[in-house]
Structure 1
Amino acid sequence: MGQSNLFIALLTLSCTLFLFSNSVFAQLKPNYYANICPNVENIVRGVVQQKVRQTFVTIPGTLRLFFHDCFVQGCDASVIIASTANNTAEKDNPDNLSLAGDGFDTVIKAKAAVDAVPSCQNKVSCADILALATRDVVVQAGGPSYTVELGRLDGLSSTAASVNGKLPQPTFNLDQLTSLFAKNGLTRTDMIALSGAHTLGFSHCNKFSNRIYNFSPKNPVDPTLNKTYAIQLQQMCPKDVDPRIAINMDPTTPNTFDNVYYQNLQQGKGLFTSDEVLFTDRRSRPIVNLWASNSAAFRSAFVTAITKLGRVGVKTGSNGNIRRNCAVFN
């Protein structure tokens, strides 16, 4: 009898673990809000389009916000939480201080527009709104449209300390990048595809100044940098530059979601070490070369990668809720 009870208990436990491991993917589905807030995608898209008309920064700002959110405690909108006297939140970690305010503003305005519809009020998570807005800004920049899986809950925790070691750094090599993405269930191919988001947006000079002034005692300028490009960077970012100055990450087509990022890498025009290493490392170079010449292949890989990114650390059940205010816990 004791053995029988033990067997039943173990069977129940294994089934529970199986169900738990699959519950996140079961919960995420494109039509999650079909009977709750059927017009949610159109509402969010309208807000995004209006924001983009006001400022282009909305596009890279929102895309980067999604990535920074998902890599720290999962895609749960915890990066949007504002710090309080008792808690320094994720957004105030040094790695997040350069996140553009327009990304946050897009989600907050979209949430307000969704909640203005009585049947939708307090029914749609900030995490899902961010995921939808991310797809919409990619489309606004000329990138691929794709189906967004929905059903995330908003996280219950946001601390600056939780960000440490979770985000890729501009000095990372291929092994460091691959390892960090693998921790989030993403392959090297996914990593190279998501790096293609650097075809949009900007960077502050201090993030790459070491490459143009003090790379090494022998080579003050990183020898993998295109020489003409290095001179341009020095002109735009002199040694005593205002730290608020930012430059485009893609010097060729900075406002268009395209595969020119990979063509730039072939020419030594990757802004960060972590960009250029995708071409200089022989293990990743074939993919860079493929996507530099095949836009459709890149767009397809990007959709696969950002869909997988949207599944990272999704909160379900009692692990999350739907915030009334995206910047404040309920």
Structure 2
Amino acid sequence: MADVEEVQHNDSPIVEEPDEQPRSVDTSKPPPATPAAPVGPGENTLQVTAWAGKVTRPVQPSSATVAAVREERQRMLDAQTARADEDLTTALQQTKEAADAKGKALGAWGVLRGAVLKGVASAAAATTRGVEATVGKIASVRFTRAFPEAAGDELQVVFACKAIHGGTPVSGSVYVTDKRVCYYNGGTIRVVVDLQDVVSVVLGVALQTYDARPYVLPRPEAEVVTDSIQLFLRDKRVVELIHITPDAGEAASELTNHRFKHNQAAAMCHASIYGAWTKIVGDVPLDGVDYSDQ
């Protein structure tokens, strides 16, 4: 007789297991951040401070600072022209080597060199006349991409700085044109200020505080070294740019870093903005604005 296997009966109810076990979620780690898309053209995302009461009276930059700004702008243009000339010379040399390899060195080099050098001379002449102040890298790709609405402006100077964004300093660059002051941090924070909307341009110094937000003090005396600028606007806002230094990303910055001190950058940026501003609004202080003595 075959053995009979004993079967034990279990009266417990049958519980069906789910087809897929739920995955445990690790709540100890934050979810991965989604990269922020670059800000679109025309969007002003800089969170600036509102001001109430009187506006700090604008102070005209010294004639020495104005002269230094003009000299520096010319140096920027000269440096860009020299770099463009160097780039073309390198390209010509590479072309010459390729022509030599094909046995066409004399003819190809002579014709090409003459044509390109003629173009270089023409560009240098245009730079000297100031017909095109935004040639080459001075009309940088990052400026035109960040501020397409200002593409027709004449770019004056570029400085590295920090803008006060919602009370916190954010590193970026300030671009001064003949019509606007533009700030961009390279990502999602930017602002474009039309100079016709400005009621005061104030040179100052950023003081450290007990929280993250610096306090910008208008320059109390001419001997005080400055590093900041405040732009007071008609709509009761103030744009604050602090820790202004030469911008390492621009074409002429190697020249700039060697030839002027970092503690002069704010004064030169102020003189550039002040000069462009007064060309648009005329005499300052402006009528109808309640200015303070300081």
Same fold (TM over 0.5): no
Greater share of strand: 2
TM tier, shorter chain?
under 0.3
Larger radius of gyration: 2
Greater share of helix: 1
TM-score by length of 2: 0.26
TM-score by length of 1: 0.24
